[in-house]
């Protein structure tokens, strides 16, 4: 155990106890923002002298700052407030959605400092083109970082099924990718000597909502992400459900309409994402064939709000199918919260009554007595922030080891 | 850490390390049967002198026996074989299914030593009557135990939704129970001073298959149990999925047939258990209204095997709906194995092609590349053996503490 006699700058003994405590403390301020040493002592169940030793060490490494609290609440010596060094430590986060590519510099503490966005047409999706755009964005963002700022890692979110460990896209239906070495290619083209771990967008969205969003403290949480299709990130007992090989949570291909349902990108009919995804909503609302994208979806929701009957019927129908999927998930997972993100946030806003009716009709009261429904806390940035969490993982696992990472801005 | 200098009978220091190791070692021989000290050392990643100290302690407490191996395989001193003390240590296991009540004495090591079974009619299910029968069985079994045998605990499986901690039946659809204090009542009427923890039958079935059955070593496993309805026990990363309040895995009320499905006991229509349960199978096969029970189900499967067209059509239809449920579960959980138990074992035997077709049609190849389908390893005893595991839990958590439990046979 690290004691208060460990002076800053003393040789770091690679012992699991202090490393875990350093990581845990840094994670607390990274996810929760400024916390006093007293609050940290209580959260971590450690005494104040141990907390002081940890913060002194992290402060010396440039990962946190300590300051006097704005106003001392009670008598006695006020507890210093520990803040993540958001101006000094950042990661590069990438987000590959069906319609757009995003890259961002995200600060320790979770603030998006700067971003680059490219809209993409849906034709001709191609690994090299996607990687070239994102790598260019990433290098540009890295160059723009202030002098002395440190890049602690990189991470990417992708709208498909990702092999854990090497960032291989096993299947990306709307981009037509099968077994593409996305993470490795992006890392190489980025040229910063940083690996780029990749995660499924909804898995990462669940991490972001669980860590710092709508579901903080909820140990059993389901995040539903609507892009063109529908993805799921399911947290069971505090951990994302990966399953046997990392491909769990495929809510989009749950069969909900076995009697002549809509065709799905996977080749089957009646999958949840075929019945509630962007294409279904726009088709039901009678929108012209060529129309697509988040703005088109939002226009339907807005029109429904203004009383447009076709838009209302479309939303009610989509909400009914979504309600079936949601009811099934509540029966299976007995979650504390269900979070609607991406396009599902818009659908939920317009079809909450249909969703709640299906839950009432198809979930036993015992199974639903604790579940809350919520929308994503981050507008369209949930998956990007999830990618940032992936990028911060190494730093948070070993704060003092990871500062030796390459990628420091000149 | 316990060392080889700890003589048997020495005062037991309540230190987590050795207690956990004692429990882990006892669990290994309880679940796997006889193991040599060398095998235990390898499994537990401990040195042989530590293993010897642990086995010496467990042996002195009468929980294991050590003997020379039947044939020494190699030169050198043979490694003693450690065996659970199945003739001395047992639990009382209870199983409340819709049609029958079972009580058994189950030995350390998992062998069912003696049992009592009562068939029940489906009318007039009543807490007091069920508890009276089971408590009588339990006392009788306890009296029948040989002199010097030790009862290490009790546990019960119930076909409904159970509140963790106090064995309260929140909902038992086919028996009509709502909020009945089953575990507490059974413990009191049993009169042995033993608490009776209660678990959902399919959750416990999953534990049994995972621990010593079809799915040993499979960390992501789905157990489907057919009684009159259909229950699920889902193991995620080695742990049963409880969800926020213990009511996860309600696969039976997954809506699979939203277009005029069969009525379900829960009040909805088209639930998985309404479409694939006993009533659906017997009705589809054209069996007379009053017929029910496992034998009637098996008769349909047997008739289908002999070429009876009505029975074949019924099984194919039930298998198709079951296949939809199974496909949805594989998409969501990316499991390593799916185990069919209870009546689902019979249905699987007769409808495997339909189930496999739905999996092929509705599960992405990436999600199903590692999944195996299996049947329960324990015929009709899976849930009873799961109840026994619940009963052994305290002993395995703290082997030397738990031998002080009451319930030693006179």
Greater confidence (A260 vs B40) lies with B40
Mind telling me how many Å the CA of B373 is from chain A's nearest CA? 14
Residue A323: closest C-alpha in chain B: B255
> Between A247, A328, A362, which is nearest B367 by CB?
A247
Cβ-based neighbours of B96, under 8 Å, separated by 6 or more:
B130, B134, B156, B157, B158, B159, B175, B182, B201
A34 touches chain B (CB under 8 A): no
B181 touches chain A (CB under 8 A): no
> Between A248, A266, A362, which is nearest B334 by CB?
A248
Does the structure show a pLDDT above 60 at B405?
Answer: no
DSSP designation for B181: -
**Which tens digit of pLDDT belongs to each residue from B345-359?**
999 999 999 999 999
Interatomic CA distance for residues B167 and B163, integer angstroms = 6
Cβ B366–A171 below 8 Å, yes or no?
yes
Phi, psi of A103 (to 5 degrees): -130, 145
Residue B367 C-beta-side C-alpha neighbours within 13 Å: 28
Cβ A248–B328 below 8 Å, yes or no?
no
**Which tens digit of pLDDT belongs to each residue from A140-173?**
999 999 999 999 999 999 999 999 888 888 988 7
Q: Do domains B89-203+383-402 and B216-376 have the same CATH topology?
A: yes
Interatomic CA distance for residues B304 and B314, integer angstroms = 9
Structure tokens at B251: 């696969």
The helix/strand/coil state of A89 is: strand
CA A109 to chain centre: 14
Averaged pLDDT of chain B: 90
Mind telling me how many Å the CA of A96 is from chain B's nearest CA? 20
Averaged pLDDT of chain A: 90
Cβ B244–A371 below 8 Å, yes or no?
yes
A89-203+383-402 topology per CATH: Nucleotidyltransferase; domain 5 (3.30.420)
Residue B243: closest C-alpha in chain A: A334
- The predicted model scores a pTM of 0.92
**B-chain residues near A367 (CB < 8 A):** 161, 247, 250, 253
B265 touches chain A (CB under 8 A): no
Q: Where are the domains of chain B?
A: 16-84, 89-203+383-402, 216-376
Helix (H) or strand (E) holding B242: none
Give the confidence band of B174 by pLDDT, cuts at 50, 70, 90: confident
Structure tokens at A102: 């995003």
> Between A247, A255, A366, which is nearest B362 by CB?
A255
Instruction: Tell me how far CA of residue A284 lies from CA of A303, A324, B211, B321, in angstroms.
Output: 13, 18, 49, 28
Cβ B253–A361 below 8 Å, yes or no?
no
Greater confidence (B321 vs A11) lies with B321
pLDDT of B98: 86
Which long-range contacts does A303-309 make (Cβ < 8 Å, 24+ apart)?
Answer: A304/A350, A305/A350
Per the CB < 8 A criterion, the answer to whether A153 and A91 are in contact is yes
**Which tens digit of pLDDT belongs to each residue from A4-18?**
333 333 334 445 567
B216-376 topology per CATH: Nucleotidyltransferase; domain 5 (3.30.420)
Residue B265: closest C-alpha in chain A: A364
A250 touches chain B (CB under 8 A): yes
Give the confidence band of B122 by pLDDT, cuts at 50, 70, 90: low
In B, residues 320-349, which contact A (CB 8 Å cutoff)?
324, 327-329, 331-336
Mind telling me how many Å the CA of A298 is from chain B's nearest CA? 28
Residue B260: closest C-alpha in chain A: A259
Cβ-based neighbours of B105, under 8 Å, separated by 6 or more:
B90, B91, B92, B93, B112, B113, B114, B115, B141, B142, B144, B145
Does the structure show a pLDDT above 70 at A325?
Answer: yes
A16-84 topology per CATH: Arc Repressor Mutant, subunit A (1.10.10)
Cβ B254–A220 below 8 Å, yes or no?
no
DSSP designation for A73: -
Structure tokens at A240: 């994302």
Interatomic CA distance for residues B86 and B107, integer angstroms = 5
Interatomic CA distance for residues A295 and A285, integer angstroms = 14
Cβ A336–B254 below 8 Å, yes or no?
no
CATH architecture assigned to A215-376: 2-Layer Sandwich (3.30)
Cβ A332–B256 below 8 Å, yes or no?
no
């Amino acid at each position: 155990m690290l004691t208060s006699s460990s002076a800053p700058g003393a040789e770091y003994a690679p012992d699991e106890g202090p490393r875990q405590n350093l990581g845990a403390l840094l994670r607390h301020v990274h996810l929760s923002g400024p916390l006093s040493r007293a609050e940290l002592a209580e959260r971590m169940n450690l005494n104040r002298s141990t907390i002081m030793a940890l913060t002194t060490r992290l402060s010396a490494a440039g990962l946190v700052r300590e300051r006097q609290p704005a106003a001392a609440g009670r008598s006695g010596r006020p507890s210093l407030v520990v803040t993540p060094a958001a101006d000094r430590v950042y990661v590069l986060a990438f987000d590959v959605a069906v319609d757009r590519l995003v890259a961002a510099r995200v600060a320790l503490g979770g603030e998006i400092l700067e971003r680059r966005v490219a809209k993409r047409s849906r034709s001709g999706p191609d690994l090299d083109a996607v990687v070239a755009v994102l790598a260019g964005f990433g290098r540009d963002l890295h160059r723009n970082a202030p002098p002395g700022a440190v890049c602690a890692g990189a991470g990417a979110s992708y709208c498909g099924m990702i092999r854990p460990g090497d960032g291989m896209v096993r299947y990306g239906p709307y981009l037509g990718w099968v077994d593409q070495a996305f993470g490795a290619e992006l890392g190489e083209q980025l040229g910063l000597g940083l690996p780029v771990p990749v995660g499924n967008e909804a898995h990462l969205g669940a991490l972001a909502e669980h860590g710092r969003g709508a579901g903080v403290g909820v140990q059993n949480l389901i995040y539903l992400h609507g892009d063109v299709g529908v993805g799921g990130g399911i947290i069971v007992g505090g951990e994302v459900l990966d399953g046997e090989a990392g491909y769990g949570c495929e809510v989009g291909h749950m069969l909900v309409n076995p009697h002549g349902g809509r065709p799905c990108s996977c080749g089957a009919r009646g999958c949840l994402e075929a019945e509630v995804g962007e294409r279904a909503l726009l088709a039901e609302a009678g929108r012209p064939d060529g129309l697509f994208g988040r703005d088109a979806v939002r226009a339907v929701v807005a029109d429904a709000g203004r009383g447009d009957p076709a838009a209302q019927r479309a939303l009610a129908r989509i909400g009914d199918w979504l309600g079936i999927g949601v009811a099934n998930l509540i029966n299976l997972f007995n979650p504390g919260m269900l979070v609607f993100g991406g396009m599902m946030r818009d659908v939920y806003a317009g079809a909450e009554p249909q969703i709640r009716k299906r839950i009432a009709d198809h979930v036993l009261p015992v199974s639903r007595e604790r579940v809350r429904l919520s929308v994503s806390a981050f507008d369209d940035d949930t998956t990007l922030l999830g990618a940032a969490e992936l990028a911060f993982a190494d730093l948070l696992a070993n704060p003092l080891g990871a500062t030796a990472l390459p990628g420091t801005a000149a």
